[in-house]
Amino acid sequence: MPIRTLPPEVASQIAAGEVVERPASVVKELIENALDAGARRITVTLEAAGRRLIEVGDDGCGIPAEELPLAVARHSTSKLATAEDLFRIATLGFRGEALASIGSVSRLTITSRPPGAESGARLRVDGGKVGAVERVGAPVGTVVRVEDLFYNVPARLKFLKKDVTEKRRIDALVARYALAYPRVRFLLSHGKTVTLQTAGDGDRRAIMAALYGVETARQTLEVLAEEGGMRLSGLVSPPSITRSNRREITFFVNGRWVQDIPLTAALLQAYHTLLMVGRYPLAVLFLEVEPQEVDVNVHPAKAEVRFRNPDRVFGFVQRAIRRALLAYAPVPQMPTLWGTRRSEAPGTGLGWRLAAETRAEEAAGTPSAPTTEAGRGTQELQPSLTRLPLLRLIGQVGATYLVAEGPDGLYLIDQHAAHERVLFEKLIALRAAREGDAPSQTLLSPVVVNLPPDQAALLEEHLPVLRSLGFQVEAFGPNTYQVRAVPPLFAGSDPADALRAVVEDFEEDETPLQEEVEARLAARVCKRLAVRAGQVLSPEEQRALLSDLEACESPRTCPHGRPTMIHLSVEMLERQFGRRGAR
């Protein structure tokens, strides 16, 4: 084929693909436009998770009738005039392509009226074809209606997830903007159902409460720090409130929601040693830096940013959060023997550790001094989840628990949780011992697995992770894969099952780090392979489990963070039996 210039409709659909990927991306662009227009009230209405309709209304500055055609033209913006402006952007938009992109892949109607205008005006764009401006009666502000998104791009439609998933993304997105702009009133509804409504009174914690419940909101910790022209504010969860994925970690940079892996890494570093493997905090953080310190023009959807001095920014973020965590030191309480939740909840040990750590760091004179050099705040401290002493097996109770004695008292061990931990550490050790890909165990006969198209796409994307784990997977037809080998430790489990579990995991998190995927996958598979509660174990099996557990780095919790054991110390027993003066 000879080279030719693409017809404008084709070129604009290609460009639209970068900005408008799914209903949530349309909602994002329209909300950002409303915010740029100085709206105090933003109403988002959806039908069929945004496929049928996305409508965003605001009470902002409006668009003059004569400018409406420009608003939907590509590279037309009121927010930028010169190339230098690009380096001091104070608005959320600047590329002048959202409305043009949305209009090329939907039926778009804009109705707008600036405060001074006598009437409103309306413009329609249908699959890129721009109509004529009409005069209409309208309130001050702007309403953008997007109907039948992707009706002319069937390939895009196919990539959309189930309605519940698209809806969840939209809900999460609007929730984040509501948190970021607590002075703006947000109203979000799906059909007639209102899913989020905020007061616009500036109270961020109240919005947290609406999203996560009053109790969680009450316990979140305030972050507030300033240093060399940077400012970080927001809320983070204490180590006792966690999630199994990073979906609830949100960063705004200069008012713009970004998905930034290094910023998330800085946050996780601040929680270092405070969280179990595979557990993540909740966080909504707002970072402000001088506009010229950050390049927001690196991604068409503006979801990524580049800092001029990344190390300085990440060090600041990590220390600020670490300080907030350490400032929170719950009063240590001696757990009583039977039953108070404190002695069983995995969070408790953390509270203790946190308090101990605060003292250690205070003694070292570190974290409260703003001059602390980067990295100092995460110094390695002795984790309280220490190894076990040598234990003497007494036996099995209820085919579920092992009972053992150690120099420091009695141990009740949950056999399933304990075995999960043992398998998990063996798996991790296997990984650490090798360079490159993990050893695999070839299956006697390869197993064919069929996946839905969206999951197949995820699998393709993550083939290298699978390989590094020891899976050998090959394409075997459309959406069909052949598993030829699995990591040796998983040899006993159903390979198709294991593969599906991995892919589900990819779906959980949009931008997983490889180690995280591996750790989570490992935890999941170990759960499946571990001995069950109710399984009678021979004395040899009991002893083997116990000695494997003794060899573990973190024997006291399963990989999901639940306790593997209850320890009744000699001291506690004596106190409970009145052998020692009660406190």
Among 17, 78, 138, 441, binds ligand ADP (CB under 6 A): 78
Considering only residues 26-85, where is the footprint of Mg ion by CB under 5 A? 33
Selected range binding ligand ADP among 33-41, 198-206, 276-284, 348-356, rule: CB under 6 A: 33-41
Please report how close the Cβ of residue 291 comes to Mg ion at its closest, in angstroms. Answer: 17
Q: Tell me, residue by residue from 131 to 160, as one string, x for binding to ligand ADP by CB under 6 A and - for no binding.
A: -----------x------------------
How far from the centroid of its chain's Cα atoms is residue 380's Cα?
25
Chain residue whose CB lies nearest Mg ion? 93
Considering only residues 444-483, where is the footprint of ligand ADP by CB under 6 A? none
Q: Which does 146 bind (CB under 5 to 8 A by kind): Mg ion, ligand ADP, none?
A: none
Task: Identify which of residues 23 and 347 has a Cβ nearer to ligand ADP in the complex.
Answer: 23
What strands, in cross-sheet order, belong to the sheet with 409-414? Answer: 392-397, 401-406, 409-414, 565-569
Q: Does 93 bind Mg ion (CB under 5 A)?
A: yes
Among 12, 13, 25, 33, binds ligand ADP (CB under 6 A): 33
Please report how close the Cβ of residue 114 comes to ligand ADP at its closest, in angstroms. Answer: 8
CA–CA distances in Å: residue 258 to residues 66, 249, 253, 306:
34, 11, 7, 10
Give dist(CA 518, CA 483) in Å, integer. Answer: 18
Q: Which does 37 bind (CB under 5 to 8 A by kind): Mg ion, ligand ADP, none?
A: ligand ADP
Angle of helix 204-212 relative to helix 163-180, nearest 10 degrees? 160
Tokens 């409970």 belong to residue: 576
Q: Does 197 bind ligand ADP (CB under 6 A)?
A: no
Q: Are 563 and 414 in contact (CB under 8 A)?
A: yes
Give dist(CA 178, CA 303) in Å, integer. Answer: 17
Among 13, 53, 54, 58, binds ligand ADP (CB under 6 A): 58
Task: Identify which of residues 34 and 549 has a Cβ nearer to ligand ADP in the complex.
Answer: 34
Task: Identify which of residues 112 and 455 has a Cβ nearer to ligand ADP in the complex.
Answer: 112
Among 94, 212, 411, 481, binds ligand ADP (CB under 6 A): 94
Q: Tally DSSP H helices, then E strands, for the chain.
A: 19, 23
Give bridge partners of residue 112 from the DSSP assignment: 121, 142
Give dist(CA 154, CA 175) in Å, integer. Answer: 29
Considering only residues 547-566, where is the footprint of Mg ion by CB under 5 A? none
Q: Tell me, residue by residue from 95 to 134, as one string, x for binding to ligand ADP by CB under 6 A and - for no binding.
A: xxxxxx----------------------------------
Q: Which does 372 bind (CB under 5 to 8 A by kind): Mg ion, ligand ADP, none?
A: none
Selected range binding ligand ADP among 72-80, 180-188, 470-478, 496-504, rule: CB under 6 A: 72-80
Among 23, 50, 62, 347, binds ligand ADP (CB under 6 A): 62
Q: Are 251 and 258 in contact (CB under 8 A)?
A: yes
Give dist(CA 253, CA 232) in Å, integer. Answer: 9
Selected range binding ligand ADP among 60-68, 328-336, 452-460, 477-485, rule: CB under 6 A: 60-68
Among 28, 46, 59, 60, binds ligand ADP (CB under 6 A): 60
Among candidate residues 164, 192, 156, 210, the one with its CA nearest the CA of residue 19? 156
Tokens 């608003």 belong to residue: 71
Q: Does 77 bind ligand ADP (CB under 6 A)?
A: yes
Task: Identify which of residues 33 and 542 has a Cβ nearer to ligand ADP in the complex.
Answer: 33
Q: Given its phi and psi angles, is residue 166 left (phi above 0), alpha (psi -120 to 50 degrees) or beta? A: alpha
Secondary structure, 3-state, 43-108: EEEEEHHHCCEEEEEECCCCCCHHHHHHHCCCCCCCCCCCHHHHHHCCCCCCCCCHHHHHHHCCEE
Give bridge partners of residue 474 from the DSSP assignment: 482
For residue 297, how many C-alpha atoms fall within 13 Å in the half-sphere facing its CB? 17
Give dist(CA 511, CA 517) in Å, integer. Answer: 10
Pairing type for strands 283-288 and 392-397 reads: unpaired
Residues 6+ apart with CB under 8 A from 422: 545, 548, 549, 552
| Count of residues that interact with ligand ADP, criterion CB under 6 A | 22
How far from the centroid of its chain's Cα atoms is residue 429's Cα?
27
Please report how close the Cβ of residue 106 comes to Mg ion at its closest, in angstroms. Answer: 15
Task: Identify which of residues 70 and 412 has a Cβ nearer to ligand ADP in the complex.
Answer: 70
Task: Identify which of residues 63 and 149 has a Cβ nearer to ligand ADP in the complex.
Answer: 63
Selected range binding ligand ADP among 31-39, 210-218, 472-480, 525-533, rule: CB under 6 A: 31-39
Pairing type for strands 294-295 and 249-253 reads: unpaired
How many angstroms separate the first and last alpha carbons of the chain?
Answer: 89
Tokens 């116990």 belong to residue: 546
Q: Are 375 and 315 in contact (CB under 8 A)?
A: yes
Task: Identify which of residues 22 and 421 has a Cβ nearer to Mg ion in the complex.
Answer: 22
Please report how close the Cβ of residue 29 comes to Mg ion at its closest, in angstroms. Answer: 5
Task: Identify which of residues 210 and 301 has a Cβ nearer to ligand ADP in the complex.
Answer: 301
Q: Which does 291 bind (CB under 5 to 8 A by kind): ligand ADP, Mg ion, none?
A: none
3-state DSSP percent of the chain in helix, strand and coil, to 5: 40, 20, 40
Task: Identify which of residues 102 and 552 has a Cβ nearer to ligand ADP in the complex.
Answer: 102
Task: Identify which of residues 76 and 197 has a Cβ nearer to ligand ADP in the complex.
Answer: 76
Q: Which does 279 bind (CB under 5 to 8 A by kind): Mg ion, ligand ADP, none?
A: none
Please report how close the Cβ of residue 187 comes to Mg ion at its closest, in angstroms. Answer: 20
Selected range binding ligand ADP among 94-102, 263-271, 331-339, 428-436, rule: CB under 6 A: 94-102
CA–CA distances in Å: residue 403 to residues 369, 431, 435, 541, 566:
47, 31, 39, 13, 10
Please report how close the Cβ of residue 510 comes to ligand ADP at its closest, in angstroms. Answer: 23
Please report how close the Cβ of residue 93 comes to Mg ion at its closest, in angstroms. Answer: 3
Q: Which residues in this chain contact Mg ion in the complex, by CB under 5 A?
A: 33, 93, 98
Q: Which residues in this chain contact ligand ADP in the complex, by CB under 6 A?
A: 29, 33-34, 37, 58, 60-63, 71, 77-79, 93-100, 142
